[in-house]
Amino acid sequence: MIKHIRLSENFFFKQLFDRVSCTYSYLLADTESKEAILVDPVIDLAERDAKIIDYLGLKLKYSINTHMHADHITGTGVLKKLLPGSQSVISTASQALADKHVAHGDILEFGNHKMEVRATPGHTNGCVTYVCHEQGIAFTGDTLLIRGCGRTDFQEGNPERLYFGYDCVGREKVQPTAHQN
């Protein structure tokens, strides 16, 4: 049975898909302040994403990454040029360049909404999950996938850390994945 998850009235949610890498990005916004967050933007689709954000009348505050990996070539740099004022975000543990580095327990705010950062290493050292408690949504990146999890046989992969990282994901109602299997 498919259940509709009811989000608060001033919360916007849109799933975006890249057919080439089979990865998902997510656009979230506060409909009152128009502040938005884009989760895991793909570089080849940055122009598409910027057009959607402009069309919807939103102001991109953060482009956030759940992790850095070959199949997640981030579009944050391009989006910063297309949408001046936006900031790129990635975990400190990823050791990647960004305007803002986050760690376990940090909070990102957009309008009246908040996302908590939870460290969920295992697929990579820098994997994080972003949790919107109010909405019951956890953006897990490659920590959790549909019927599986991110691979651990790559550089930085560690199945034990990935397994124990599941405790940090929590029991949110919705856990949008980064990939289509």
Residues 143, 165 contacting (CB under 8 angstroms): yes
Would you state the structure tokens that stand for residue 128, as one six-digit string? Answer: 């994080």
Which tens digits make up the pLDDT trace of 92-107?
988 889 999 999 999 9
Q: Is residue 34 part of a domain?
A: yes
**pLDDT for residue 2:** 45
Q: Is residue 83 part of a domain?
A: yes
Residue 159's CB: how many other CB atoms inside 10 A? 13
Rounded CA gap, 54 and 105, in Å?
Answer: 31
Dihedral angle of Cα 131, 115, 140, 72, to the nearest 10 degrees: 180
Residue 167 CB-density burial (10 A; 0-12 exposed, 13-18 middle, 19+ buried): exposed
How many structural domains are present in the chain? Answer: 1
Q: Is residue 24 part of a domain?
A: yes
Q: Is residue 179 part of a domain?
A: no
Residues 127, 150 contacting (CB under 8 angstroms): yes
Q: Is residue 81 part of a domain?
A: yes
From residue 166, give the alpha-carbon distance in Å to each of 28, 31, 78.
23, 31, 32
Would you state the structure tokens that stand for residue 11, as one six-digit string? Answer: 């919360």
Using DSSP, how many helices (H) and how many strands (E) does the chain show? Answer: 3, 10
Q: Is residue 181 part of a domain?
A: no
Which tens digits make up the pLDDT trace of 77-86?
999 999 999 9
Residue 55's CB: how many other CB atoms inside 10 A? 8
Residues of the chain with pLDDT under 50: 1-3, 178-179
Give the domain CATH number at 96.
Answer: 3.60.15.10
What residues are paired with 35 via a beta bridge?
59
Q: Is residue 6 part of a domain?
A: no
* Residue 43 three-state SS: helix
Which structural domain range is residue 85 located in? Answer: 11-169
Q: Is residue 139 part of a domain?
A: yes
